[in-house]
Chain A
């Protein structure tokens, strides 16, 4: 797999976010065994040291756990996964709000613009559904 990394952000950070995303979306399930450091390094085409660091940090956050001699596994704690989902959503929204503010939008304008866009998107999906029939 070829992932395009953004070189200005720490690579380990970007990989942690990719793995978290895979957990939230259910691509990795609670209790699943993670790839070995070598395999993961191969997958993302990065230095194995970067992956070691990723694994250490994921474990520190209790997102994964290691069983001696068995490997690293995804947490089976559903609350943890939910918490992760909320954390990632918060961070997306946080960035979005900052961007909108930098464009000069006020709080109510930001909320209105979200509402408008959600409705528009829903309509366009519905219309597409109709025209397909």
Chain B
């Protein structure tokens, strides 16, 4: 089994609007993949499809060699782009909740990581700052021992040193038996840890490739390739 995630020709329409257009993405073990595109390009719809919240009109998804079914969902650690935690819970209750809910959750690792992010586990989620909630969410998802990590915007609202920690956490989490698909608008911050990137526009993959390959072919950072691809303007890098 080469790929842990295979999305084949995914199609989806909402009314007349095409949101995914013959989308193909493959994620192999050990790879960190960046899914990059502007707002409304279909990234979150794709993620919702991987996690079974939305059904494709056509095409199929294979996770770890199996068609998507309730059991395969357990292999996926998903961090949606919006806060999904109960705000009335204390942080330590959230940790306990995760531990009960996910059999692959490492409670000690999560607690250590959350404390090292400077979060007081006796505080309620609603009393945390935006950035701290994000740090908490990322720490929780990366403390699962999943096969597939789907991470929607891990760096938003997070301070500089926190972002460094999250990038380190990402590298600590990835192994040959797991794969990650990450979206972000802060491309320059994280591009050095991506193996491959897919550029998505209006539900379609318009460019994909291995990062170092793209850099040497175009003499540009992934961030500036993004600028060029989506603004249709030539970009001269100094």
Contact = CB atoms under 8 A, between A and B. Distances in A.
Contacts of B95: none
B191 interface: yes
Contacts of A10: 211-213, 215-216
A9 interface: yes
Nearest to A44: B192
Interface stretch (A45-53, A109-117, A123-131): A45-53
A48 B171 CA distance: 8
Contacts of B174: 47-48
A46 B192 CA distance: 6
Contacts of A8: 215, 219-221, 224, 237
B195 A49 contact: yes
Interface string B180-196: 00000000100111110
Nearest to A53: B212
Contacts of B221: 7-8
A8 B227 CA distance: 13
Nearest to B193: A47
A2 B174 CA distance: 20
B222 interface: yes
Interface residues of B, number: 26
A90 interface: no
A97 interface: no
A13 interface: yes
**Residue with the highest number of chain A CB atoms closer than 10 Å, among B192, B193, B220:** B192
Given A7-B188, A8-B219, A41-B171, A46 B193 contact: yes
Nearest to B31: A49
A96 B134 CA distance: 46
B171 A47 contact: yes
A45 B171 contact: yes
Contact of A7 (B32, B167, B195, B223): B223
Given A8-B221, A11-B211, A48-B171, 16 more contacts: A5-B192, A7-B222, A8-B215, A8-B219, A9-B215, A9-B216, A10-B213, A11-B212, A13-B216, A45-B164, A45-B193, A46-B171, A47-B192, A48-B174, A49-B30, A53-B212
Interface of A: 2, 5, 7-13, 41-42, 45-50, 53
Interface of B: 30-32, 164, 167-168, 171, 174, 188, 191-195, 211-213, 215-216, 219-224, 237
14 contacts: A7-B215, A8-B224, A10-B215, A12-B212, A41-B171, A45-B171, A45-B192, A46-B192, A46-B193, A47-B171, A47-B195, A48-B30, A50-B195, A53-B212
